[in-house]
């Protein structure tokens, strides 16, 4: 699992934009797993990054919401 704690949110958003589709999906998967393991302020930071990643996925797949991510997740279990 990738550690995103040391990456400021603004930098995180810029990094997402430069990632491949599979990298973005992997980040989302890692963040979902992290959200189940943290509490308090850390959880808020993870949830903020989940929201940014969801926005990046929505930009890449207009009108599909998170369907491409869910399909990727099924294929890669």
Strands annotated E in 1-77: none
Indicate the pLDDT class of residue 2, thresholds 50, 70 and 90: low
Phi and psi torsions of 66, nearest 5°: -105, 15
User: Model confidence over 16-66: pLDDT tens digits?
Assistant: 999 999 999 999 999 999 999 888 888 888 999 999 999 999 999 999 999
Q: Is residue 18 part of a domain?
A: yes
Whether residue 3 is contained in a domain is answered as: no
pLDDT of residue 64: 96
pTM: 0.89
Question: Could you give the number of structural domains in the chain?
Answer: 1
Q: Is residue 66 in a domain?
A: yes
Question: Does some domain include residue 1?
Answer: no
């Amino acid at each position: 699992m990738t550690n995103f704690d040391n990456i400021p949110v603004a930098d995180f958003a810029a990094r997402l934009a430069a990632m491949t589709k599979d990298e973005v999906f992997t980040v989302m998967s890692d963040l979902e797993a992290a959200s189940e393991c943290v509490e308090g302020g850390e959880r808020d930071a993870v949830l903020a990054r989940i929201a940014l990643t969801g926005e990046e996925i929505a930009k890449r797949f207009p009108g599909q919401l998170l369907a491409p991510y869910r399909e990727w997740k099924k294929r890669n279990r």
